[in-house]
């Protein structure tokens, strides 16, 4: 009887939205289309998105991932990852006679443009973000003389500016919303005239996934976040789940990384995934849980998402040219018939 009660209490709360955002979808499709269009190999600078499975799958299709543009042999195509690159990287690619496809998420590009604009107006820019993260390196490269990195509230004490009346903060797109607000409050304490970005730098997808995991975190004994260790937004979901009251939260790339011991005494398991995570990996986790008695799944929906981005312009141009050639060949065929 006791056993039956415990089994009846087992359930899964599945967060929505979760997984792929519009920027990731666009970047992954860009690599696939480039492989179709130009044939393998296609070089990609940095992991196109921070997900092991995505990278392994694209490698099997003929993508070659490199860390630096100089590693790409002259005359080849290189795709820039969704996290964005500094202007100097475009220059390196031109010097190496490489054709480029820029898969930087448009919402990252928006932050780059803000940095350029504020630097032009000679502001000191306090960029809140994680030191060493690819996106931060790219954004900082837009205006290295004007940007100071602020890596969380603990870093605020070290910040110095030239003119306290001309200071703005910007941020990485994938930060914890709550922690960023803490950092901003601390910065405002030091620089009362600090101005905020014209619109949110933490993107819609990051925010929505955090809201959803917060909603279910309070009711979950265990939260499983599917995502890779180097995925900033996925790591943030683990932190947000714990902050919301989940008793435990773990990040896994694949279902087989889940430790059976985590389920001890657990009734409700929350499941979510980072913005770079394909749904097939979440399905694997749900199957793993169902096989252990957690087959009852309730979706917790925090927001609806409908945003999509068009493919990088270099690909759209070539795909249009290809479509036009196909139409014209068809026309020739029809005339001959």
**C-alpha closest to that of 93 among 43, 55, 143:** 43
Both tokens assigned to 38: 């130009």
| Residue 252 interacts with, from ligand 2E4, ligand SF4, none (CB under 5-8 Å by kind) | none
Told to check if 19 binds ligand 2E4 by CB under 6 A, we report no
What is the C-alpha separation between 224 and 262, in angstroms, rounded? 10
Q: CA 122: distance to chain centroid?
A: 30
* Position closest to ligand 2E4 via CB: 231
100, 171, 176, 206: which one binds ligand SF4 (CB under 6 A):
206
Kindly tell me which of 76 and 230 has the beta carbon lying closer to ligand 2E4.
230
Told to check if 23 binds ligand 2E4 by CB under 6 A, we report yes
Both tokens assigned to 283: 């399905």
Task: Kindly determine how many residues on this chain lie close enough to bind ligand 2E4 according to the rule CB under 6 A.
Answer: 18
140, 180, 208, 232: which one binds ligand 2E4 (CB under 6 A):
232
| Residue 22 interacts with, from ligand SF4, ligand 2E4, none (CB under 5-8 Å by kind) | ligand SF4
| Residue 50 interacts with, from ligand 2E4, ligand SF4, none (CB under 5-8 Å by kind) | ligand 2E4
What is the C-alpha separation between 176 and 292, in angstroms, rounded? 32
Catalytic annotation present for 135 = yes
88-91's contacts with Cβ under 8 Å and 24+ in sequence apart are: 88/141, 89/45, 89/138, 89/141
12, 13, 24, 79: which one binds ligand SF4 (CB under 6 A):
24
Kindly tell me which of 15 and 255 has the beta carbon lying closer to ligand SF4.
15
What is the C-alpha separation between 262 and 273, in angstroms, rounded? 18
What is the C-alpha separation between 319 and 29, in angstroms, rounded? 13
Binding mask 83-122 for ligand 2E4 (x = CB under 6 A): x---------------------x--x--------------
Told to check if 203 binds ligand SF4 by CB under 6 A, we report yes
Residue 180 contacts residue 156 (beta carbons within 8 Å): no
Output the 3-class SS for 254-272: CHHHCCHHHHCCCCEEEEE
**C-alpha closest to that of 72 among 49, 48, 50, 46:** 46
What is the C-alpha separation between 102 and 198, in angstroms, rounded? 24
Told to check if 101 binds ligand SF4 by CB under 6 A, we report no
What is the C-alpha separation between 182 and 15, in angstroms, rounded? 25
231, 268, 272, 273: which one binds ligand 2E4 (CB under 6 A):
231
**C-alpha closest to that of 278 among 103, 21, 2:** 21
What is the C-alpha separation between 331 and 325, in angstroms, rounded? 10
Alpha helices of 191-311 — where are they, by DSSP H? 204-217, 232-243, 279-290
17, 19, 23, 217: which one binds ligand SF4 (CB under 6 A):
23
Both tokens assigned to 250: 């773990």
Minimum Å gap between C-beta 225 and ligand 2E4 is: 11
Kindly tell me which of 12 and 224 has the beta carbon lying closer to ligand 2E4.
224
Which one of the listed residues 47, 92, 135, 142 is annotated catalytic?
135
Told to check if 147 binds ligand SF4 by CB under 6 A, we report no
Both tokens assigned to 179: 């922690």
Q: Which of residues 164-223 bind ligand 2E4 (CB under 6 A)?
A: 173-174
What is the C-alpha separation between 24 and 30, in angstroms, rounded? 10
| Residue 232 interacts with, from ligand 2E4, ligand SF4, none (CB under 5-8 Å by kind) | ligand 2E4
Both tokens assigned to 301: 């929906």
93, 108, 149, 302: which one binds ligand SF4 (CB under 6 A):
108
Contact residues: ligand 2E4, CB under 6 A: 23-24, 49-50, 82-83, 105, 108, 135, 173-174, 231-234, 274-276
Could you give the residue numbers annotated as active site?
Answer: 135
Contact residues: ligand SF4, CB under 6 A: 21-24, 82, 105, 107-108, 173-174, 203, 205-206, 233, 275
């Amino acid at each position: 009887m006791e056993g039956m009660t415990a089994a009846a209490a087992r359930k899964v709360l599945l967060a929505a939205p979760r997984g792929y955002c519009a920027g990731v979808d666009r970047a992954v499709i860009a690599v696939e289309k480039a492989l179709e269009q130009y044939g393998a190999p296609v070089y990609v600078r940095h992991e196109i998105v921070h997900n092991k499975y995505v990278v392994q799958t694209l490698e099997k299709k003929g993508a070659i991932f490199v860390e630096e543009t100089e590693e790409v042999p002259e005359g080849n195509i290189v795709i820039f990852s969704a996290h964005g690159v500094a202007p100097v990287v475009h220059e390196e690619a031109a010097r190496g006679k490489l054709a480029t496809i820029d898969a930087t998420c448009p919402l990252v590009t928006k932050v780059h443009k803000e940095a350029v604009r504020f630097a032009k107006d000679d502001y000191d820019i306090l960029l809140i973000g994680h030191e060493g993260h690819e996106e931060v390196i790219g954004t900082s490269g837009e205006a290295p003389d004007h940007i100071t990195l602020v890596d969380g509230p603990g870093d605020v004490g070290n910040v110095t500016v030239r003119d306290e009346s001309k200071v703005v903060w910007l941020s990485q797109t994938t930060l914890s919303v709550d922690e960023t607000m803490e950092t901003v409050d601390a910065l405002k304490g030091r620089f009362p005239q600090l101005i905020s970005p014209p619109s949110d730098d933490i993107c819609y997808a990051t925010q929505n996934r955090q809201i959803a995991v917060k909603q279910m975190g309070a009711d979950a004994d265990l939260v499983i976040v599917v995502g890779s260790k180097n995925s900033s937004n996925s790591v943030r979901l683990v932190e947000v789940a714990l902050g919301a009251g989940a008793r435990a939260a773990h990040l896994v790339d694949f279902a087989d990384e889940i430790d059976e011991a985590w389920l001890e005494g657990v009734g409700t398991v929350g499941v979510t995934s980072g913005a770079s995570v394909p749904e097939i990996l979440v399905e694997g986790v749900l199957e793993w849980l169902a096989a252990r008695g957690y087959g009852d799944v309730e979706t917790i929906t925090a927001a609806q998402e409908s945003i999509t981005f068009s493919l990088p312009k270099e690909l759209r141009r070539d795909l249009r040219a290809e479509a036009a050639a196909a139409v014209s060949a068809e026309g020739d065929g029809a005339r001959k018939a």
